[in-house]
A and B are shown apart, each in its own frame.
Chain A
Amino acid sequence: MHDDSKAKVSLSVHLRPLAFIAVLLLLWDIGIRRQPSHLLPTPWGVVGGLADLVRHGLLLKYVVASLFRVTWGFFLAVILAIPLGLMVGWHRRAEMAFNPILQILRPISPLAWIPIAILWFGVGDLSAIFLIFVGCFFPLMLTAIDAVQSVPAVYVHAGRNFGLGSTGLLVRVLYPAVVPRLIVGLRITLGIAWLVVVAAEMIAVSSGLGFLIVDARNAGNRYDLVVAGMVIIGVIGLFLDIGMRQIEKMKSFRWGYSED
């Protein structure tokens, strides 16, 4: 009896966000019906747009194209920025050398690189991947520098005290000590990558979800497709974030968040 009511409560807690979304959709629908205008398509129009995309085989194709670019741009940024950032953070002198240029490059929006990307790589996947790479590289490097600098000295001392050399210290102390912060940085940066890919696809390529949005508007004001594209972007972004949070919850990484 008690367990039953508990299960009901937790179910209603889980349903609450969905119910809220349903209410918003309903208000959206009512609003557009009462005041027919071209400000927005109706929710049903968007569903129709999605169905159109599926029928033409475009939905999967565009999603795969976008995810492909994000994966490569993000992956390249991770394998370059994190080792570099860890090295720079560990050596004080390197950090002093790198910091000014990082601080100058960091605030430049990745979108400002679009003309350069097209000049270097032409219109195509490479440009988009490059833009995502630029958008992810600086935040990741700064995360890595910060992560290694905030490793408490006691851990490094303890590692050296037990006779670890520099490789041992790196593998057995520094790496496990920085991982929790790195994972938070990775999650935030993957969100940035997903933002950048849409912008990059609007200009630098002719496929993907960003392209879908621009193309739907240019080729006949299909705002149902524009909003359908936005919805897909949002939902995929949500799933990427949920995926990264699952990694955070892994037992061996969780220590970093449960510290008081």
Chain B
Amino acid sequence: MSLTQPVSAPAAVAMKLSVEHLGVVFGRDGKSTPVLDDINLEVSEGEFICLLGPSGCGKSTLLNIMAGFLSPTSGRVRVDGEPVRAPDPRRVFVFQERGVFPWLTVEGNIGFGLFKLPRAEREERIAHYIRMVGLEGFEKTYPHELSGGMKQRLEVARALAVNPDMLLLDEPFGALDSITRLIMRGELLRIWEAERKTIIFVTHDIDEAVQLADRVVVMSARPATIQRIVPIDIPHPRDISSPRYLELRDGIFQQIGLAHKL
């Protein structure tokens, strides 16, 4: 029995992104290392997807291909039916850490992608997203004076400001302490519910995936394949001690091959 089930998006919702028979082989020092193997995935508009897998399994590589930073060895990624060839402001990548520009203030960072807008509109947008991520009063502050969580919020705000269709987040909260991480998850869900962007969120944290996603894409170790796609049928806000939550989470733990006892 194959573990990879073809999961198609629900009807009547537009397909946003499709990954078709995607494969990546890295060539290094004359050796070729397969990283991704025959990845197939369909994501519908406004969906929140978590790519979950062990560190170094190639999930970040997959996200980089979706963003257009890397080209696949075989297969393709389509967004709105068009093959992805280069980075595009319609899908913005939020980096693991330190993606904000240290030479720009909070305002400067959020306004970075808005250079085509007239001044008044730009300032209005900047103010809007500063409020949305709760950085009022820090408009003129440089990133090195901000905490880790504030920097990460700033980066999310910078991405949202250009009004993309899709956010690609690469372990965005990985460097934060556990309390800040929980708060940031809540913030991200609040923003997602307000703006309804399609979100692809890479993480190696099972709880994080089950708390956030509509569907969790469980990936195997390298060369990564999709092991299983788990729909999370719990409405937000999610009770993380509910039986259904624990059942889904434990199912994924077992899928990945981790016992409960340490």
Q: Which residues of A contact B (CB under 8 A)?
A: 152, 154-155, 157-158, 160-163, 168, 172-173, 176-177, 179, 252-253, 255-256, 258-260
- Checking B104, B144, B162 against A162 with a beta-carbon cut-off of 8 angstroms, the contacting residue is B162
Query: Cβ of B89 and Cβ of A157 under 8 Å apart?
Result: no
Q: Which residues of B contact A (CB under 8 A)?
A: 67, 69, 86-89, 92-93, 95, 98-99, 101-104, 112-113, 115, 142-144, 162
Once the chains are docked, how many angstroms separate the CA of A154 from the CA of B97?
A: 9
Once the chains are docked, how many angstroms separate the CA of A163 from the CA of B99?
A: 16
Complex contacts, A160 vs chain B, CB 8 Å: 69, 86-87
Query: Cβ of B93 and Cβ of A157 under 8 Å apart?
Result: yes
Complex contacts, A157 vs chain B, CB 8 Å: 67, 69, 87, 93, 95
Q: A255-B142, A255-B144, A258-B144 are in contact. Are A162 and B99 (CB under 8 A)?
A: no
Query: Cβ of B92 and Cβ of A161 under 8 Å apart?
Result: yes
CB-nearest residue of chain B to A153 = B69
Query: Cβ of B103 and Cβ of A154 under 8 Å apart?
Result: no
Once the chains are docked, how many angstroms separate the CA of A154 from the CA of B92?
A: 12
Once the chains are docked, how many angstroms separate the CA of A177 from the CA of B143?
A: 14
- Checking A154, A162, A168 against B98 with a beta-carbon cut-off of 8 angstroms, the contacting residue is A154
Query: Cβ of B93 and Cβ of A161 under 8 Å apart?
Result: yes
Query: Cβ of A161 and Cβ of B87 under 8 Å apart?
Result: yes
- Checking A154, A176, A179, A259 against B144 with a beta-carbon cut-off of 8 angstroms, the contacting residue is A259
Complex contacts, A255 vs chain B, CB 8 Å: 102-103, 142-144
Query: Cβ of B112 and Cβ of A154 under 8 Å apart?
Result: no
Complex contacts, B112 vs chain A, CB 8 Å: 158, 162, 172
Query: Cβ of A152 and Cβ of B103 under 8 Å apart?
Result: no
Query: Cβ of A154 and Cβ of B95 under 8 Å apart?
Result: yes
